[in-house]
Amino acid sequence: MEVEVKFKVEDFEEIKKKLAEVGKFVIEKVEEDLYFNSPWRDFWRSDEALRIRKDVEGVTLTYKGRKVDAETKTREEIKLKVNSFDKCRKILEKLGFKPVRWVKKRRRIYRVNEAVVCLDEVEGLGKFVEVEIESEDVKEAKKRVFEVARNLGLKGESIRESYLEMLEKQEN
């Protein structure tokens, strides 16, 4: 399971300083995600997602299941590396999947122990910090992601909406 919390921020500088003390910088990259909807069920209503992501590390097809709690974005996540964005897109479209929206962001990734911390600048939305841990022990992982978030000075309730959901709501 991917256990994740997300917070909107105005500035990354304080968080970067704290990450320099407690974490390790991994990579900075641009991610371009194309989301699809299913011909069999509406992913917006079922709280699922299917996307193809391309970045400097390659192309990944990802399925995200329903969120499992009211505090976080915890959900099943299945990833598959593919060697061609265009061919993957073509297969999905031939099967009836419809492209819904692009989500583009600049992402700086850090590691704090077993947690991954992402500083995201999302086109059309602003700046966010995500803290995630992949674990089957959801209860313990939730405790740890909130602890990392607090240690970074992130306050308030975490945002449960995906960037896709936020962009869709903003448009309507």
- Per run of 10 residues, the mean pLDDT along the chain (length 172 residues) is 96 95 97 97 96 98 95 94 98 98 98 97 98 95 96 92 94 75
Residues 6+ apart with CB under 8 A from 151: 18, 22
Q: Are 39 and 96 in contact (CB under 8 A)?
A: yes
The whole-angstrom separation of Cα 95 and Cα 86 is 14
Nearest CA among 132, 130, 134, 138 for reference residue 154: 130
Residues 153-172, buried b or exposed e (16+ Cβ, 10 A)? ebeeebbbebbbebbeeeee
Dihedral through CA 95, CA 97, CA 103, CA 108, nearest 10? -40
Q: Phi, psi (5° rounding) for residue 91? A: -60, -50
Q: Which of 64, 58, 54, 37 is nearest to 103 (CA)?
A: 54
Query: What was the pLDDT predicted at 133?
Result: 97
Q: Which two tokens stand for residue 46?
A: 């079922």
Question: Which pTM value belongs to this model?
Answer: 0.94
Residue 29 tokens read as: 């990259």
Predicted confidence at residue 134, as pLDDT, reads 95
User: What architecture (CATH level 2) is domain 2-171?
Assistant: Beta Barrel (2.40)
**Pair type for strands 98-112 and 24-37:** antiparallel
Span 123-158, pLDDT tens digits: 999 999 999 999 999 999 999 999 999 999 998 889
Instruction: Say how far apart CA 148 and CA 112 lie, in whole Å.
Output: 8
Phi, psi values for residue 35, rounded to 5°: -95, 150
| Average pLDDT score, the chain | 96
pLDDT value of position 171: 80
Annotated active-site residue 35? The verdict is yes
- Rounded Cα distance between 27 and 8, Å, is 21
List the domain boundaries for the chain.
2-171
- Which of 77, 55, 57, 82 minimizes the C-alpha distance to 66? 77
| Catalytic annotation, pick one of 35, 63, 110, 163 | 35
